[in-house]
Structure 1
Amino acid sequence: MLEYWRSILKRKKQIIGFGLVVALLAVVIVLVMTPVYRSTATVLIEANKSKLLSIEDVYSGISQNREHFQTQVEIIKSREVAIRTIEKLKLWEHEEFDPRAKEGSLLASIGFSDEPKEWTDKLLAEAVYESFSSKLTVEPIRLSQLAKVSFDSSDAALAARVANVTAEVYIETDLEARFKLTRQASGWLQDQLSDLRKKLNDSEKALQEFREREGIVDLKSVTQSGAGRQIEEVMGRLVEARMKRAEAEGAYQQIRSAPKGSDLSSLPAVLRNPIVADAKRAEGIAERKLSEVSQRYGKEHPRYVQAESELESARDNLRRQVDSIVASVIREYEVARGTESTLEGVLNSAKGSVQVLNRKEGELSIYEREVEANRQMYDMFIKRTKETNVTGDLQTPIARVVDPAVIADKPIKPKKTQIVVIAFVLGLFLGVLAALLRDRLDNTLKTTEDVEARLKQPILTTLPLLSKEEVQRTKTARIFLDQPKSIYAEAIRTARTGVLLSGIDLPRRTLLVTSSVPGEGKTTFSINLAMAHAHTKKTLLIDADMRRPAVSKGLEIPVGAKGLSNFVAGSATLQECLQSVEGSSLMLMPSGSIPPNPLELLLSQRFKETLEHLGKHFEVIIIDSPPVELVSDALVIAALTNGTIYVSKAESTPYQVARKGIQRIRRADGQILGVVLNQFDMAKAGKYYGDYSGYGYQGYQGGYGVTYGEESGKA
């Protein structure tokens, strides 16, 4: 959410401006719109009006409920009511609804209009219907039987008239329809009475014949009582028998599942018997006594013989009791199973007799229901026929107008203030959405958090965005020396500190500076970093970009100066290839003569020996190489250095490109020391991203500046 808020703040002026433009456009639109007035008539639809016309229940099944109320609302909006209202008011005579006004249009003059040449009242009403229905609104009031009939028109008086006439036409139409329907129902009822009378007589005769044929007097009360009690008693006894059989079967299964020849006295079904328990206890006493005697006397001693005899007698008794209990369990199981089978047979027999009675009773019920249904239908038709004949000419309206429509004094639309406010809010929303979408589609590195999160690399330093006057190569190359108190110089010192801390125990360092694509500021950073190291250590800057050398241009080294390519090829000595930088102890080795194939030169053993030789003379060697995405020079050099510094331009280089370049260096056995975020707008970051805010400018330009000046002076 914080990132979204920063995106909005970053473009708040554009967002507000877009919202104002949309609001201004809305103001222009609402000023030219025609005001529309609305009048509303309230109609009460009485769902439970009277029972006089309840004959509708016979031929349509309509119930006076909520569905009926909703149906009446839809009838008010129907085409028939609309056409009658239009004809009654002759709306085609009003300019707003007159379809004949199109006859003078350009399409009508060239023959593309489908309007008739001669208008009748019916054709005019049909032509006005679409416009009429679009302006008519019927809205039911929740939890009531009231409905609001509203009409919109540019003429306030006409809107009130149309709303009232629509309600009146609906009531008249309903009365006419119900009067016709009642007459039709009366004729239909007279035709049906003769058929119903014949069906009733036939069904009563069939019922009586069935009773006489089957000899039934009071089947339900007499036959069901005895059979029912019998089934209940048998069911109760069967449940008890099944419980006893289940218990006996459990004990039986324990005995049956025991291994042949095993001790059955330990089974729960046998052990629960008190006789077996006593025999088991006597056996234990005999065993304990034999054990005590065996400790004091020998096997030939009379007491030992007596104890052994008692133990054998106890065991024989236990075996007899166990065998007796086992036989008893088996007999109980067989008896319980036989009892259960007998009860099931009795129950099935009782059920069969009851089923015969049920079939007769079911057939009797069919005859009785037929007679009862015919009698009820006949009585109802007699009653409805009499009611219809008596009340055929009596009709009461289903609805009435409880609140007639009045002429509106204020237009309902356009709601100018609301439209303008909504347009402004919508403009702001679209502006915010566009701002968020733009930032979401932006895949560049904007902050230090982006570098660490997307590249998974530590941030070495952040170089500020320079002004247009400082962008010249000759000025930016010496900014560390010319402006030692600037934020840019402080950022270079931060990078220098990071490099020194990354390898404290290394006596000598060889660093590679590269980037993804040209124009990211790696050369300017290389020069200023080398100048910063030259304050404390013996430093050499090598321009290894032999295709497009830029270090020499920045430091104003004469074109054609001997350098790296000459020294590696052996055509020049080390002293001839080194150039001193004015105002600093930094030594520079230019790229030298451009070879036909620089990559082969860098891959040679001579180049590796050259770096080893230079490492003996300098403590820090900084190499400026071509971009990774263009050529493979940086990948070759990275494997020969102690670390690589990757430069990326803020809000310019896609993070996917930078991440790919870092991965290529790693695969080439290169070590990434960190990433430098170049051309970073610190004022913008402090305002929108929360980086370098508050403390940043005051801290860099204030108290710390003196310290840096002193440091520069000492150097």
Structure 2
Amino acid sequence: MDFAQFFLILRARQRVLWITLATVVALTVAVSLLLPKTYKATSSVLLNFKGVDPVTGLTLPGQLLPGYMATQNDIITSKNVALRVVDSLKLAQSPAVVEQFNDATGGKGTVRDWLAELLLKKLEIVPSKESSVIEISFKGADPQFVAAVANAFADEYQKISIQLKVEPMKKASEYFSAQTKQLRDDLEAAQARLSKYQQEHGIVSVDNRLDVESARLADLSTQLVVAQGQAMEATSRQQMAKTGDAESPDVANSMLIQNLKVNLGLAESKFADISQRLAPNHPQYISSKAEVEKLRADLRAQTTLTSNSVSNNAQIMSQREGAVRAAMGAQKAKVLELNRTRDEMNVLMKDVESAQHAFDAVSQRFAQTKVEGSSEQSDISVLNPATPPTEASNPKVVLNVLLAVFFGTLLGLGLSLLAEFMNRRVRSERDLADALNIPVLGTMEWKTPARRRGKLAGLLPNRLRLN
């Protein structure tokens, strides 16, 4: 079927088309006028999730998640919010509403739940795609009522958002309060153990005492090294003094012994000269000999005295070395004891520091959660409150008529084609060629009066009737 055939069919069946279109439009207008008017009120709320929290000063990264807007939509359309709206508007206290509830449910359930379900069915939430604004719309027959319900949903949504944020903070605040008390007790116990340990060991400042004792130990170590050197030197001199007096440096360096040796040499020279000139019984010979013997005796006595002095000095040095060694051992034991005391005290101090850090952290968190739990600040604000609408949102007569014209035209075209296919007529040369399967050699116009056209049409076959 080409366009020419389609046009011929529409022209032949235009009565069906116009009747169908007129019927659809008439029915649409009648239904639109008979339907009750529905009013729609809209309240806009703004989600202020950008910036910082006015109480804690912290940023709000959790609200930037992709599912945040969907979560807010679910909160608004929750039954909890609807029940709050029912309570705020006192809808369940109306005798007429109670009577309607009894008629509709037979008294099963509660009025609050029934009203909440009805409100949620007429509630419409439209979040903005590119902003943080959510439109809360409610439909109904009363303009004042729909505006009040829309505003009630916005207010209760704001209140429940505060409650959802504050209640966890209150529970956390109670938990942190108990933890703060426990950690305070632990801190006091750790400080008591540290104080008791300091009192038992007489510790004022472990670090200063350790520094002094360590310096004393180092000094004794130096003195021990010096005493060991001196003792070794004194022992060597003692051994040399015992083996040979003349080889001993102490004997050789003694001025008295040197003078005695000089005097002995002079006396021996004088005695040798006298012994050559005088006889042994001569008084000068006897006197000179006695002088030499005396000087030799003095030299031996002084040498023996010097050797004994070296031995005594060696003993003194050995005793001094032993005393320094003993003092160093005692000092080392003292330093080790101080190290042990310091280590034990460091453990106690670490316990106190750990308890202090834990107590400070929990106290800070407790203060923050306590402030957040008592805050009534909300990140949701009403941007545009709903006002009673002046015009009904439904039914839309003009839109319904336009749709009726469109769909009535489509229906009329469909009925015209259906009527044509049920009673096919010859409308053009192509219809004749398709019906007889023979080529059309020519066409001829045949104009007949109206009274004869019916008779001629009856003579032709049904499928070859003229138009």
Q: Report the CA distance between 1:21 and its aligned residue.
A: 2.0
Q: Structure 1 CA distance, aligned partners of 2:170 and 2:137?
A: 34
The aligned residue for residue 146 of structure 2 is 159
Where does residue 426 of structure 1 map in the other structure?
Answer: 407
Matched, 1:146 2:133: yes
Q: CA contact under 8 A between 1:36 and 1:414: conserved in structure 2? A: yes
More helix by share: 2
Query: In the alignment, which residue of structure 1 is the partner of 2:50?
Result: 48
Tell me which of 142, 155, 159 is aligned to 1:172: 159
Specify every segment of 5 or more residues in structure 2 that has no aligned partner in the other structure, as ranges: 183-357
1:71 aligns to 2:71 (yes or no):
yes
Question: How far is the alpha carbon of 1:429 from its aligned partner?
Answer: 2.1
In the alignment, the residues of structure 2 paired with residue 25 and residue 188 of structure 1 have an alpha-carbon distance, to the nearest angstrom, of 68
Map of 2:348 onto structure 1: none
Give the deviation of 1:169 after TM superposition. Answer: 0.5
Task: Give 2:111's match in structure 1, choosing from 124, 128, 147.
Answer: 124
CA distance in 2, matches of 1:148, 1:434: 44
* Counterpart residue number, 2:466: 680
**C-alpha deviations, 1:226-279, integer Å up to 9, x for none?**
xxxxxxxxxxxxxxxxxxxxxxxxxxxxxxxxxxxxxxxxxxxxxxxxxxxxxx
Q: What is the CA–CA distance in structure 1 between the aligned matches of 2:414 and 2:86, rounded to whole Å? A: 48
Q: CA RMSD in A?
A: 4.0
Aligned to 1:101: 100
TM-score by structure 1 length? 0.35
* Structure-to-structure mapping, 1:221-620, within 5 angstroms: 387-439=368-420, 446-453=427-434, 456-460=437-441, 469=452, 521=460
Residues 274-330 of structure 1 deviation map (CA, whole Å, 9 limit, x = unaligned): xxxxxxxxxxxxxxxxxxxxxxxxxxxxxxxxxxxxxxxxxxxxxxxxxxxxxxxxx
Which of 6, 16, 19 is the aligned partner of 2:18? 16
Which letter does structure 2 place at the counterpart of 1:78? Answer: S
Task: Report if the CA contact (8 A) 1:139-1:148 is conserved.
Answer: yes
- Residues 6-48 of structure 1 show CA distances to partners (whole Å, capped at 9, x for unaligned) of 4333333332222222222222223333222222211111223
- How many aligned positions are there? 283
* Structure 2 residue aligned with 1:134: 121
Cα distance, 1:126–1:54 mapped onto 2, change above 3 Å: farther
Question: Which residue of structure 1 lines up, in the alignment, with residue 317 of structure 2?
Answer: none
Q: 1:31 to 1:174 in 2, by over 3 A?
A: same
Unaligned runs of 5+ in 1: 195-377, 477-487, 489-518, 522-648, 654-677, 682-715
8 Å CA contact 2:169–2:372 kept in 1: the answer is no
Give the Cα–Cα distance (whole angstroms) in 2 for the partners of residues 10 and 32 of structure 1. Answer: 35
Query: Displacement of 1:460 after TM fit?
Result: 4.7
| Preserved CA contact (<8 Å) 1:186 1:389 | yes
Assess if the C-alpha contact under 8 Å between 2:79 and 2:117 holds in 1: no
Q: Structure 1 residues 520, 93: CA separation in 2 closer, same or farther (over 3 Å shift)?
A: farther
SS at match of 1:411: coil
For residue 413 of structure 1, give the secondary structure of its aligned residue in structure 2. Answer: coil
Among 95, 101, 115, the alignment partner of 2:106 is: 115
Shift of 1:426: 2.2
Q: Distance between the aligned counterparts of 1:20 and 1:397, measured in 2? A: 57
Residue aligned with 2:139, SS: strand
Q: Secondary structure at the match of 2:378?
A: coil
The code of the aligned residue for 2:78 comes to: S
The amino acid across from 1:116 in the alignment is: G
1:404-435 Cα shifts (integer Å, max 9, x gaps): 11222222222223223322332222112222
Cα drift, residue 470 of structure 1? 6.5
1:236 maps to: none
Show the counterpart of 2:29. Answer: 27
Change (3 A) 1:384 1:69: farther
Q: Which has the higher contact order (CA 8 A, sep 6+)?
A: 2
Q: CA 1:432 to 1:99, structure 2 compared with 1: closer, same or farther past 3 Å?
A: farther
Secondary structure (helix, strand or coil) at the match of 1:147 reads strand
In structure 1, how many angstroms separate the alpha carbons of the residues matched to 2:176 and 2:145?
46
Alpha-carbon distance between aligned partners in 2 of 1:49 and 1:80, rounded to the nearest angstrom: 29
Contact 2:426–2:466 (Cα < 8 Å) also in 1: no
Deviation at 1:170, TM superposition (A): 0.7
- Cα distance in 2, alignment partners of residues 443 and 190 from structure 1: 92
Local SS of the residue matching 1:125: helix
Deviations 1:458-504 (A, max 9, x none): 125668697664666xxx7xxxxxxxxxxx9xxxxxxxxxxxxxxxx
1:442 deviation in Å?
A: 6.0
Contact in 2 for aligned 1:42/1:146 (Cα 8 Å): yes
The alpha carbon displacement at 1:134 in A equals: 2.4
Q: Could you report, residue by residue, the CA deviation over 1:556-580 in whole angstroms, capped at 9, with x for unpaired residues?
A: xxxxxxxxxxxxxxxxxxxxxxxxx
Compared with structure 1, are the counterparts of its residues 172 and 457 closer, same or farther at alpha carbon in structure 2 (3 Å cutoff)? same
Contact 2:126/2:136 (<8 A) preserved: yes
- What letter matches 2:377 in structure 1? T
- The amino acid across from 2:129 in the alignment is R
Give the letter aligned to residue 166 of structure 2.
F
User: Residue 40 of structure 2 corresponds to which residue in structure 1?
Assistant: 38
SS where residue 409 of structure 2 aligns?
Answer: helix
Question: Cα deviations across residues 94-127 of structure 1 (Å, max 9, x unaligned)?
Answer: 69x8252375xxxx6xxxx74118xxxx811222
Structure ranking higher in strand proportion: 1
CA contact (8 A) 2:8 2:427 kept: no
Q: Please identify, of 138-147 and 84-93, the stretch whose mean Cα deviation from structure 2 is larger.
A: 84-93
For 1:680, give the aligned amino acid: L
